[in-house]
A and B are shown apart, each in its own frame.
Chain A
Amino acid sequence: MQQQQKVAALSYSFPEEVLEHVFSFIDSTKDRGSISLVCKSWYEIERWCRRRVFVGNCYAITPAMVIKRFPKVRSITLKGKPHFADFNLVPEGWGGYVCPWIKAMAVAFPCLEEIKLKRMVISDDCLDLIAKSFKNFKVLVLISCEGFTTDGLASIAANCRNLRELDLRESEVEDICGHWLSHFPDSYTSLVSLNISCLANEVNFPALERLVSRCPNMHTLRLNRAAPLDKLANLLRGAPQLVELGTGAYTSEMRPEVFTNLAAAFSGCKQMKGLSGFWDVLPSYLPAVYPVCSRLTSLNLSYATIQSPDLIKLVGQCQSLQRLWVLDYIEDAGLDMLAASCKDLRELRVFPSDPFGLEANVALTEQGLVSVSEGCPKLHSVLYFCRQMTNAALNTIARNRPNMTRFRLCIIEPRTPDYLTLQSLDSGFGAIVEHCKDLQRLSLSGLLTDRVFEHIGTYAKKLEMLSVAFAGDSDLGLHHVLSGCDNLRKLEIRDCPFGDKALLANAAKLETMRSLWMSSCSVSYGACKLLGQKLPRLNVEVIDERGPPNLRPDSNPVEKLYIYRTISGPRLDMPGYVWTMEDDSAYLE
């Protein structure tokens, strides 16, 4: 009793302003959440001074609820469609509409400065509303979004006087007119970051040049493929302070002055740390970037269809590299060189140059990844597409790199076994989860039985996201994961023989996760109904393009299933092929 009184006395003795000031140093959503749980008064103080909100699933909560709790938000991040939408597994029109959010925030958050969206649908009207509602709007990031055109961008350009960042990364934009850029008024000089790499057509280049040269704080510029190389030198001369540059197509008619101009321009870029772009590379132009190579920390060559020797020549100059994205043209030889030269490497992504080919077109095998895992002590994030793998290699990688946090391996042919022993890759991936104790993200591939899931459930205690395809034998596999992975937030599964038993037995687990996606598995409609009924704080969405599932027997498996926790009940914007399973409360009327 005395202790409680002491605590109460302490909290009353601190004026709110002091607490608020202390809280202002704490930015992470997780920590803010912890603060709000301490006591009622901290909850109240915290919510009035929360500036950044992260909503990992736009359907988990309504805009009104967010606005009610956090009235003074300046920055919001929203995510919409499930991750597998990236691979065309979510049919068109599924949802993820940001409009209701923008409408509500236009009224409630006049001081909003930042909107960051991922996999959402945003219309030109919405962009217009943003442009006209938020006087101090600074940052618009649209990652893998769709539904808008360059007209919407024109409105943003014309109205957002304080815009700092416009990032359209990987979005699908209907490119009506390249003149939208000209809508930035001549008096506008605050642009810091511009990413238009996804735009299909040429933008008005003179307008771009003028824009870039009058914005002294330009830090990041990512051009699109249509941006001509022979104009890049001039652009760079207008912005030698650039730190991140994405080129357009890296090719042009062979004219010596283009090369010399380019090389001179790059020499002037003393701050450059990151390069990307490089579509259609003409290898003889690559040396133009050599002046900046030694300082580069990030290099994205994942569109550069050049062969190993040219890649080796380029990457060999980049001793400070921390992040490399590259096509498998780099081959094992190139990865050996990377391991030898780039000791600061932290992230490696190797993409397939011929993903649908029947045979390997490049000499890239598991050996390349083993080399890098040996040579690069800071390597912790890997995405690797290849055609063969062994348990021995995975074991070696695991032992070399216990600091691995993100490991995504894609063996191109589903269910490929260890090519030396012809066994499954259970023990290899088992080694990964056993040795890499901080593993947060894992993607599996190759021939895998329920055993691998047993290993994952046993060891992958920090795992937050797991992606599974063409793996497992029975419900036991899914059960191991759901019952063992204490920190699992996102689970996505396709083409696995997982059915009702594991799901129903671990139903409560689903409320501790952000979402579960299962497609082409064996979950029956009956089980979906049951889950929906018993767990009101979950939305159980059945996606089935064959028509209403209640026209088929309850035992019939659903095509796709998306389950996510929510406090806002079933959504109302579903297309005709999505059904939300009703919970018991629906029958209480």
Chain B
Amino acid sequence: MENSLGNHQTEMNLKATELRLGLPGSDEVEKLPCNFSVLRNNKRSSPEEASDVDSISKSKLNSSNGSSHTTNDDQDNAPPSKAQVVGWPPIRSYRKNSLQQKKGEEVGMYSKVSMAGAPYLRKIDLKVYKSYSELLKVLENMFKCTIGEYSEREGYNGSEFVPTYEDKDGDWMLVGDVPWEMFMSSCKRLRIMKGSEAKGLGCF
């Protein structure tokens, strides 16, 4: 599952391959499923409270079996900013969008992303990214592909995968052709095409 801490995911994957169908109460202290959503630590505002909470949850951990806490091992690796868990808190997207919006802005910057050969679509929130390089990195991660360098002259010539998008007028464009702000407001949906498919785009 996509989350904002790529390294974290890999780490938990390794632990997960050791999982067995054991009885609860067996000697496995840490049954860490590989796909626990990433959580940030239970940080409280006062430092004394923080240590109390941690020590109590730690002692709970040690006494109960098959712990549900993934954070204790991972405290050192946790990033300083809050990692957002998918779908938590449980608020519908249109509510989230309406909180962030000022009047006059577009309702939601979610774009569907498809890739040649992939059986399903993904959705991404363009507002979260500040530049093409950020966006392309995320796309590469999401679809496990390499996109390569963009050049004004030749587009993504030579790349195996080429990111394209459909704009408000229904035209298919190369990602990177227009300034980022313009792209954000005109992009209807994205499609990662195979290099061969994309020939002919961006030759304007």
Smallest Cβ-Cβ distance to B2: which chain A residue: A545
Q: Are A352 and B102 in contact (CB under 8 A)?
A: no
Q: Shortest CB–CB separation between residue B170 and chain A, in angstroms? A: 11
Smallest Cβ-Cβ distance to A576: which chain B residue: B119
8 Å CB interface, B9-50 against A? 16-17, 19-21, 23-25, 31, 33-37, 39, 42-43, 45
B31 surroundings in chain A (CB, below 8 A): 497, 499, 522
8 Å CB interface, B99-131 against A? 99, 102-103, 106-107, 112, 118-123
User: Quick one: CB contact mask for A119-161 with B, threshold 8 Å, 1 for yes?
Assistant: 0000000000000000000000000100000000000000000
- A515: CB under 8 A from chain B? no
Q: Are B95 and A553 in contact (CB under 8 A)?
A: no
Q: Which residue of A471, A494, A555 is within 8 Å of B37 (Cβ)?
A: A494
- B52: CB under 8 A from chain A? yes
| Complex alpha-carbon distance, A541 and B166, angstroms | 33
- B5: CB under 8 A from chain A? no
Q: Are A520 and B21 in contact (CB under 8 A)?
A: no
Q: Shortest CB–CB separation between residue A112 and chain B, in angstroms? A: 29
- B203: CB under 8 A from chain A? no
User: Quick one: CB contact mask for B166-184 with A, threshold 8 Å, 1 for yes?
Assistant: 0000000000000000000
Q: Shortest CB–CB separation between residue A147 and chain B, in angstroms? A: 12
Q: A92-B122, A473-B66, A497-B67 are in contact. Are A556 and B34 (CB under 8 A)?
A: yes
8 Å CB interface, A436-482 against B? 443, 447, 449-450, 467, 469-476
Q: Are A417 and B56 in contact (CB under 8 A)?
A: yes
Which of A267-275, A407-415, A483-491 lies at the interface? A407-415
- B90: CB under 8 A from chain A? yes
| Complex alpha-carbon distance, A144 and B95, angstroms | 13
- B96: CB under 8 A from chain A? yes
Q: Shortest CB–CB separation between residue B36 and chain A, in angstroms? A: 5
- A43: CB under 8 A from chain B? no
| Complex alpha-carbon distance, A393 and B86, angstroms | 29
Smallest Cβ-Cβ distance to B68: which chain A residue: A497
| Complex alpha-carbon distance, A86 and B122, angstroms | 15
Q: Which residue of A422, A443, A467, A474 is within 8 Å of B53 (Cβ)?
A: A422
A467, A494, A521, A576: residue with the most chain B Cβ atoms closer than 10 Å: A494
Q: Range of interface residues on chain B? A: 35 or more
User: Quick one: CB contact mask for A344-369 with B, threshold 8 Å, 1 for yes?
Assistant: 00000001111110110000000000
Q: Which residue of B33, B43, B45 is within 8 Å of A520 (Cβ)?
A: B33
| Complex alpha-carbon distance, A200 and B188, angstroms | 14
- B65: CB under 8 A from chain A? yes
| Complex alpha-carbon distance, A557 and B98, angstroms | 36
Q: Are A87 and B87 in contact (CB under 8 A)?
A: yes
| Complex alpha-carbon distance, A443 and B91, angstroms | 13
Q: A475-B24, A524-B21 are in contact. Are A355 and B91 (CB under 8 A)?
A: yes
Q: Are A494 and B87 in contact (CB under 8 A)?
A: yes
Q: Which residue of B33, B56, B93, B106 is within 8 Å of A88 (Cβ)?
A: B93
| Complex alpha-carbon distance, A327 and B90, angstroms | 15
Smallest Cβ-Cβ distance to A450: which chain B residue: B64
Q: Are A91 and B56 in contact (CB under 8 A)?
A: no
Q: Shortest CB–CB separation between residue A361 and chain B, in angstroms? A: 11
Q: Are B20 and A352 in contact (CB under 8 A)?
A: no
A524 surroundings in chain B (CB, below 8 A): 19, 21
Q: Are A501 and B23 in contact (CB under 8 A)?
A: yes
Q: A92-B112, A497-B31 are in contact. Are A305 and B99 (CB under 8 A)?
A: yes
- A27: CB under 8 A from chain B? no
Q: Are B67 and A170 in contact (CB under 8 A)?
A: no
Q: Are B95 and A351 in contact (CB under 8 A)?
A: yes
Smallest Cβ-Cβ distance to A521: which chain B residue: B33
| Complex alpha-carbon distance, A24 and B21, angstroms | 54
Q: Shortest CB–CB separation between residue A344 and chain B, in angstroms? A: 26
Q: Are B91 and A352 in contact (CB under 8 A)?
A: yes
- A50: CB under 8 A from chain B? no
| Complex alpha-carbon distance, A545 and B120, angstroms | 9
- A280: CB under 8 A from chain B? yes
Smallest Cβ-Cβ distance to A577: which chain B residue: B120
| Complex alpha-carbon distance, A235 and B203, angstroms | 50
Q: A280-B102, A497-B33 are in contact. Are A414 and B66 (CB under 8 A)?
A: no
Q: Which residue of B16, B34, B45, B96 is within 8 Å of A359 (Cβ)?
A: B45
- A297: CB under 8 A from chain B? no
Q: Are A87 and B1 in contact (CB under 8 A)?
A: no
- A302: CB under 8 A from chain B? yes
A557 surroundings in chain B (CB, below 8 A): 16, 19, 33-35
B185 surroundings in chain A (CB, below 8 A): none
| Complex alpha-carbon distance, A251 and B101, angstroms | 14
Q: Are A279 and B98 in contact (CB under 8 A)?
A: yes
Q: Are B19 and A555 in contact (CB under 8 A)?
A: yes
Q: Are A520 and B36 in contact (CB under 8 A)?
A: yes
| Complex alpha-carbon distance, A92 and B113, angstroms | 10
8 Å CB interface, A192-218 against B? 198, 200
- B133: CB under 8 A from chain A? no
B94 surroundings in chain A (CB, below 8 A): 170, 198
Q: A92-B112, A305-B99, A355-B96 are in contact. Are A412 and B89 (CB under 8 A)?
A: yes
Q: Are B119 and A474 in contact (CB under 8 A)?
A: no
Q: Which residue of A412, A422, A556 is within 8 Å of B17 (Cβ)?
A: A556
Q: Are A93 and B121 in contact (CB under 8 A)?
A: yes
| Complex alpha-carbon distance, A524 and B68, angstroms | 17
- B60: CB under 8 A from chain A? yes
| Complex alpha-carbon distance, A168 and B112, angstroms | 21
Q: Are A92 and B121 in contact (CB under 8 A)?
A: yes
A86 surroundings in chain B (CB, below 8 A): 90, 92
Smallest Cβ-Cβ distance to B24: which chain A residue: A474
B37 surroundings in chain A (CB, below 8 A): 494-495, 520
- A513: CB under 8 A from chain B? no
Q: Shortest CB–CB separation between residue A350 and chain B, in angstroms? A: 12
Q: Are A355 and B89 in contact (CB under 8 A)?
A: yes
- A500: CB under 8 A from chain B? yes
- B88: CB under 8 A from chain A? yes
Q: Are B82 and A358 in contact (CB under 8 A)?
A: yes
| Complex alpha-carbon distance, A359 and B94, angstroms | 23
A-B contacts, 20 listed (Cβ < 8 Å): A88-B86, A88-B93, A89-B86, A200-B106, A225-B98, A225-B107, A280-B102, A280-B103, A355-B89, A358-B82, A415-B68, A415-B69, A473-B65, A474-B25, A474-B66, A495-B36, A499-B31, A522-B33, A559-B35, A577-B119
Leading 10 A-B pairs by shortest Cβ distance: A576-B119, A87-B87, A474-B24, A92-B121, A473-B64, A474-B66, A522-B33, A200-B107, A497-B68, A89-B87
Since A351-B95, A576-B118 are in contact, a sample of 10 more A-B pairs with Cβ atoms closer than 8 Å, ordered by chain A residue number, is A87-B91, A280-B103, A385-B91, A414-B88, A415-B57, A467-B90, A470-B39, A474-B25, A501-B23, A527-B21
Chain B interface residues toward A at CB < 8 A: 1, 16-17, 19-21, 23-25, 31, 33-37, 39, 42-43, 45, 52-53, 56-57, 60, 64-69, 82, 84-96, 98-99, 102-103, 106-107, 112, 118-123
